[in-house]
């Protein structure tokens, strides 16, 4: 019981007032007598407050609801369910021992709960690294309306939750894809170029159909306008190839480039399967990480999720030759390859350009490169002095060199994207849909 007994700030304020009153009235008997009466009343209220709080063995209930899988880089809702069994309104000071990695040393929620009532409290956690997170105890400090004494309740022994790639984004884009509302999420509406589709059936013309699809022979036989109906080519292979070398360790807004690539790959693969294509995965650094053959069933997403959860970057230079050899060995069919990497200079690109050219001859290659947004923001800020002007000049040169990397890739016939990390998911979905519309994927 003593471990659950705490004195509140209100208690110490009242006690301070009494000390001042006794000190100031020591030589004035009438005032001193009044001070003694107030002190007796104060002690009586303390005993009464203790009686109220400890009149029940378990006066409140509380439990923490944590999703089994948290989503990396997103705000994950955590719920605390509270119940008041007392016959009076209680004031709660809730301290949840969130995982140490969040460094929330001032986590505190103040809440009031009416008699015999239940309620929920929600707060968000935004993890920035994948892995297992350990929650501590859920501490609830309870006080009555008097607020002189606080009783501590301790709930929810150590609990563990795993932080996976962005499941929240994956589900969000999946809903848009199912309802054909991807444009609302920022995905461009792609105009199809020509008939790069498979024939489905001949049907009656309906207002709004493409005149170029009219089947004139069937129209002549039936004496009414008939058109050919096509459907998208399916079962095409799309691979996300993720570089896990040291260049992908660079952080932006708390997340590393690798985690941006992993989150985008998970969302894109789900869209690919929704479009009835096959999604595959290859990760590499100084050695090959994981290879997941392309498949179009929904079990593939579970495989994606588990493999991406385990991927970690290294501080070594990536071996593009091993990646190229692995692609040649494992991917026999012509496929769309989305290579997530980060060439910071033209010299870094030139060392790998021959391998990328060869890959592009055998497959449709898209190289995804990240824009250094912090460098761009620094370049766009006004210069304060000569030293700042010099630094901005260097920053401008580095930004130009990154654009030249993209330009050189395109001059060699290789599709490329230069994108801000936060816009990566939309950019790769747009590129996939564009290439699919052009019949290149």
Encoded tokens for 79: 């719920």
Cβ 248 vs Cβ 341: under 8 Å: yes
Cα–Cα distance for residue pair 434/307, rounded to 1 Å: 27
51 contacts: CB under 8 Å, gap ≥ 6: none
| Low-confidence spans in the chain with pLDDT less than 50 | 1-2, 192-196
Cβ-in-10-Å burial (0-12, 13-18, 19+) of 154 comes to middle
119 contacts: CB under 8 Å, gap ≥ 6: 81, 82, 111, 113
Encoded tokens for 381: 């800020």
Any idea which architecture 167-190+233-437 has in CATH? 3-Layer(aba) Sandwich (3.40)
Encoded tokens for 282: 């290859």
Closest CA to 233 of 185, 197, 194, 179: 197
3 state DSSP class of 285: coil
Tell me yes or no: is domain 1-164 CATH 3.40.50.620: no
* pLDDT given for residue 441 in this prediction: 58
CA distances from 280 to 124, 235, 277, 428 (A): 33, 12, 10, 15
* pLDDT given for residue 136 in this prediction: 86
* pLDDT given for residue 146 in this prediction: 83
End-to-end CA distance of the chain: 69
Within 13 Å of residue 138, how many CA atoms lie on the same side as its CB?
Answer: 19
* pLDDT given for residue 193 in this prediction: 44
* pLDDT given for residue 1 in this prediction: 42
Cα–Cα distance for residue pair 382/392, rounded to 1 Å: 9
The yes-or-no answer to whether 1-164 and 167-190+233-437 have a common fold is no
pLDDT in tens, 75-101: 999 999 999 888 888 888 888 888 888
Question: Residue 295, Cβ neighbours under 10 Å: how many?
Answer: 16
* pLDDT given for residue 261 in this prediction: 94
Q: Where are the domains of the chain?
A: 1-164, 167-190+233-437, 205-231
Cα–Cα distance for residue pair 279/297, rounded to 1 Å: 9
């Amino acid at each position: 019981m003593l471990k659950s007994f705490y004195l509140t700030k209100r208690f110490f304020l009242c006690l301070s007032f009494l000390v001042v009153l006794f000190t100031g009235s020591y030589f004035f008997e009438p005032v001193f007598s009044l001070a003694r009466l107030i002190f007796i009343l104060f002690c009586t209220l303390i005993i009464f407050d203790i009686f109220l709080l400890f009149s029940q063995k378990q006066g409140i209930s509380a439990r923490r609801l944590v999703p089994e899988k948290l989503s990396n880089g997103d705000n994950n809702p955590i719920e605390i369910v509270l119940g008041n069994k007392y016959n009076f309104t209680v004031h709660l000071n809730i301290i949840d021992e969130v995982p140490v990695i969040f460094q929330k040393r001032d986590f505190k929620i103040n809440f009031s709960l009416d008699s015999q009532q239940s309620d929920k409290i929600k707060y968000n956690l935004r993890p920035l690294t994948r892995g297992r997170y350990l929650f501590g105890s859920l501490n609830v400090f309870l006080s009555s309306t008097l607020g002189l004494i606080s009783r501590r309740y301790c709930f929810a022994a150590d609990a563990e939750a795993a932080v996976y790639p962005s499941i929240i984004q994956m589900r969000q884009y999946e809903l848009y894809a199912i309802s054909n509302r991807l444009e609302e999420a920022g995905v461009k509406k792609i105009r199809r170029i020509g008939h790069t589709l498979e024939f489905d059936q001949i049907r009656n013309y309906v207002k709004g159909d493409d005149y170029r699809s009219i089947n004139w022979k069937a129209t002549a036989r039936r004496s009414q306008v008939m058109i050919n109906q096509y459907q998208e080519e399916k079962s095409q292979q799309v691979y996300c190839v993720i570089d896990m070398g040291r260049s992908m360790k660079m952080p932006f807004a708390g997340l590393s480039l690798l985690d941006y690539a992993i989150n985008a790959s998970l969302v894109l693969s789900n869209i690919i399967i929704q479009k009835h294509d096959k999604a595959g995965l290859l990760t590499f650094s100084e050695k090959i990480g994981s290879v997941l053959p392309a498949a179009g069933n929904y079990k593939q997403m579970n495989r994606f999720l588990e493999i991406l959860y385990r991927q970690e970057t290294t501080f070594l230079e990536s071996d593009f030759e091993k990646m190229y050899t692995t692609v040649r060995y494992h991917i026999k069919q012509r496929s769309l390859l989305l290579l997530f990497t980060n060439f910071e200079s033209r010299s870094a690109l030139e060392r790998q350009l021959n391998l990328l050219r060869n890959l592009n001859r055998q497959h449709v290659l898209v190289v995804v490169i990240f824009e250094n947004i912090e460098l761009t923001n620094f370049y766009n800020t006004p210069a304060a002095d000569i030293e700042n002007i010099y630094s901005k000049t260097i920053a401008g040169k580095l930004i130009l060199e990154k654009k030249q990397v993209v330009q050189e890739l395109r001059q060699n016939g290789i599709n490329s994207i230069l994108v801000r990390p936060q816009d990566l998911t939309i950019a790769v979905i747009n590129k996939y849909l564009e290439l699919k519309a052009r019949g290149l994927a």
